[in-house]
A and B are shown apart, each in its own frame.
Chain A
Amino acid sequence: MLILQTLTRHGRLHGFEIANAIQSRSDDVLRVEEGSLYPALQRLLIQGWVEGEWGKTEDNRRARYYRITSPGRKQLERELARYRRVSQAISRILQPV
């Protein structure tokens, strides 16, 4: 969900940029093992929710750029809807009396 959302916001990113975007966006709260991003990206590729394409970085290194696909966008909407439901439920429970 985080990756899909990030790609929706920025369009075309390679793995390192995705990791940085997620971290900066979350004010460094979400700082998991960065490498776990890559198996996650593979999973999205398998599902067809993102597509990868090799290109060049600014300093001319090969990098795989990821872009969200339209099935990916639909999946993101589903996940966001589910997330909102859960988070609303949690916040209602946690409301101060």
Chain B
Amino acid sequence: MGVLLRRLMSAFRRDRFDRELREEMQLHLDLRAAELREAGLEDRDAGAAARKTFGNVLLLREEAREMWGFRFLETLAQDLRYAFRQIRENPGFTAVAAATFALGIGANTAIFSLVDAVILRPLAYRQPERLFVIHEVVPKFNFGMFLPVNALHFQQWQKHGDSFEQMALLNGITVNLSGDGDPERLPAARVSPNLFAILGVQAQVGRTFLSDEDQPGRAKVVVLSNELWRRRFNADPGVINRTINLPGGAAQIIGVLSATFRFPKLGQLYGMAIAADRPQLWIPLVLDNSDLRPTGGYNFATIARLRAGVSPSKALAELNAIQADTENLLPEKYDLRAALVPLQDQITASPGRV
């Protein structure tokens, strides 16, 4: 048994400790007095003489108690009682102090979350400095603030632009997942099949999408996040080819992303506040005619990979030229433009507009 342990155990039996020490000392005094009586002293004198040779009983007891560290515990208990009394008597001060702590801790947490997201985990994509988010700008609507992307405009950029290797359209939905366990609502992303190629990300198990899997009429397929795969499917590699029930019907699981793959909350990809979480499921974005109206339907985010050797400002100029042509498809003049933001800046909300 260690010294510390002995001290601690004794602390819980302080009364007993005191009683025993007192008893021990009393015995000593009695025996000494008896000895002196035998030597011929009067009762009273014997007791006094015994006490005299013994020394100051109270002081010695105190000394023994201190040796065990009780003094420390008693002082601590006193301090705590005082602290609680102060808290009760000064609720205003306490509230201010608590709020100060809360804010301090909160700010710290926020900053460290940010540091974690920004510095400790830079985008783990291939050549992330060439990844950009494209926004629409329609000054006539909202004084030049960013808008999400219209799918038809996106197709014009794809068709007529040359500055980007590839670009992908995506948006978030919430799906009810059923089959294999309890039904649950999950954030999902509908994405162009080339999104993973743009990011330079491969599946850990199975595959990601084929380039034509966004065409209407194709069999429904789904890619799982690693987290969902571990949580709901026990990290079973045999999930590939299994089907799960999604709102649009049964979909075949074709792949699982790696645990190191991190994707921002979808809301972070838009130029305006949109609540959309980190996707747990990925399904191909199949566009229908209602998505391909020339105006309205500003519903999507766009991630594009800039071609090597092309400057972002040149790419933006090209996008704006295409937007000007796209105006011809619109019923009236909107002064349509585009904005280009590095993906990293978009996610960290730092001002990095090209």
Contact with A along B286-323 (1 / 0, CB 8 A): 00000000000000000000000000000000000000
**Contact-size category for B:** 20 to 34
In the complex, A23 Cα to B31 Cα: how many Å?
A: 15
Is B251 interfacial (CB 8 A cutoff)? no
In the complex, A38 Cα to B64 Cα: how many Å?
A: 7
13 A-B pairs within 8 Å (CB atoms) are namely A15-B28, A16-B32, A31-B53, A34-B28, A35-B54, A35-B55, A35-B57, A36-B55, A38-B21, A39-B67, A43-B67, A61-B30, A64-B20
CB contact under 8 A between A48 and B6, given known A19-B28, A39-B60, A64-B20: yes
Contact with B along A54-89 (1 / 0, CB 8 A): 100100011110000000000000000000000000
In the complex, A63 Cα to B67 Cα: how many Å?
A: 21
CB distance from A6 to the nearest CB of B (A): 15
Contact across chains for A16 and B67 when beta carbons are under 8 A apart: no
> Is the contact region of chain B dominated by helix, strand, or loop, or is it mixed?
helix
CB contact between B60 and one of A14, A36, A62, A63 (< 8 Å): that residue: A36
Is B236 interfacial (CB 8 A cutoff)? no
Residues of B within 8 A of A61 (CB): 27, 30
Interface residues of A (CB under 8 A from B): 14-16, 19, 31, 33-36, 38-39, 42-43, 45-48, 54, 57, 61-64
CB contact under 8 A between A46 and B7, given known A38-B60, A39-B60: yes
Contact across chains for B24 and A33 when beta carbons are under 8 A apart: no
CB distance from B293 to the nearest CB of A (A): 85
CB distance from A68 to the nearest CB of B (A): 16
CB contact under 8 A between A34 and B53, given known A46-B3, A48-B1: yes
CB contact under 8 A between A47 and B3, given known A35-B25, A35-B60: yes
